[in-house]
Structure 1
Amino acid sequence: MTTTKSKGLNIALWVAQGLIALTLIWAGYAKLFQPIEETAKMLPWALDNPGLLTFTGIIDLLGGIGIILPAALKIQPKLSVFAAYGTIALMIAASVFHISRGEASLIGMNIFFLILAVFVVWGRTKKAPIFPKQ
């Protein structure tokens, strides 16, 4: 692979990681720090199950931080790959949750972020890994 191609791939991976991170951190913030009534406007199930809302908010926040921070700091960057695997699992679980509630039309974003996370796993393990600081 030429340097130009690998640089382009690296940029694409950083963009994917950044997009996933921003989205998950935003979702975690919305679930954990907004009034539940505000969150329920977007997520009607929040009022029925505030424990699930808190749990998913924590998972979102940790996933968003995990997919970007270790790689950016080059401190245990493999943790960013693990966070991408976690994002894949989260998006599958979210899709199943929406389908079980009769909301199959809402899983488009879940599929999009699942594909981005698969791209990050592939890219950061096979084509453009980030190595720890020495």
Structure 2
Amino acid sequence: MNVALWIVAGLLAAAYIFGGSYKLATPKEKIAAAGAAGEWVNDFSSGGVRAIGALEILGGAGLILPAVFGIAPVLVPLAAAGLVLLMIGAALTRLHRHELHLVLVDLIYIALAAFVAWGRL
């Protein structure tokens, strides 16, 4: 079980750190122009998109770093729970935008982050 938790946490951390970095470094207009999956940024200000990116980076780092360094490992399930909340917001945004085909991806992220939160408690 521990190996599965590390694998899922590592994959989630990589995805969130990469995605969050993209949101921090890329202008909102360029994200929106990337296609249907990026049009959600039109519902948020540039600062809001950057804040989401920062939360994703912090959550991704929180999935790995506390456990690796053995400093406050209780932060791992808290980071995972925070990512669950973030992805619930993403799913609700997609539902509001009638992007039902993308909600499934959000639900998978929710399930994986919930697995890490449950497993690390």
The answer to whether TM tops 0.5 is yes
For residue 87 of structure 1, the aligned residue among 73, 83, 86 is 83
5+ residue gaps, structure 1: 1-8, 126-134
**Displacement over 4 Å in runs of 4+:** none
Superposed CA deviations along residues 44-65 of structure 1, whole A, max 9, x for unmatched, are: 2435631221111111111111
Please state if 1:46 is matched with 2:38.
no
* Alpha-carbon separation, structure 2, partners of 1:35 and 1:55: 13
Q: Which amino acid in structure 1 is aligned with residue 25 of structure 2?
A: F
Superposed CA deviations along residues 21-73 of structure 1, whole A, max 9, x for unmatched, are: 01110111110012444322141243563122111111111111111110111
- Residue in 2 that maps onto 1:22: 14
Residue 90 of structure 2 aligns to a residue whose secondary structure is: helix
Residue 102 of structure 1 aligns to a residue whose secondary structure is: coil
Query: Pairwise CA RMSD of aligned residues?
Result: 1.4
* Alpha-carbon separation, structure 1, partners of 2:26 and 2:109: 23
Q: TM-score, normalised by structure 1?
A: 0.80
5+ residue gaps, structure 2: none
Q: TM-score, normalised by structure 2?
A: 0.88
Structure with the greater alpha carbon radius of gyration: 1
* Alpha-carbon separation, structure 2, partners of 1:91 and 1:47: 18
Q: Which amino acid in structure 2 is aligned with residue 11 of structure 1?
A: V
- Residue in 2 that maps onto 1:131: none
> How many residues in Structure 1 have an aligned counterpart in Structure 2?
117
* Alpha-carbon separation, structure 2, partners of 1:115 and 1:47: 26
Residue 18 of structure 2 aligns to a residue whose secondary structure is: helix
For residue 110 of structure 2, the aligned residue among 114, 117, 127 is 114
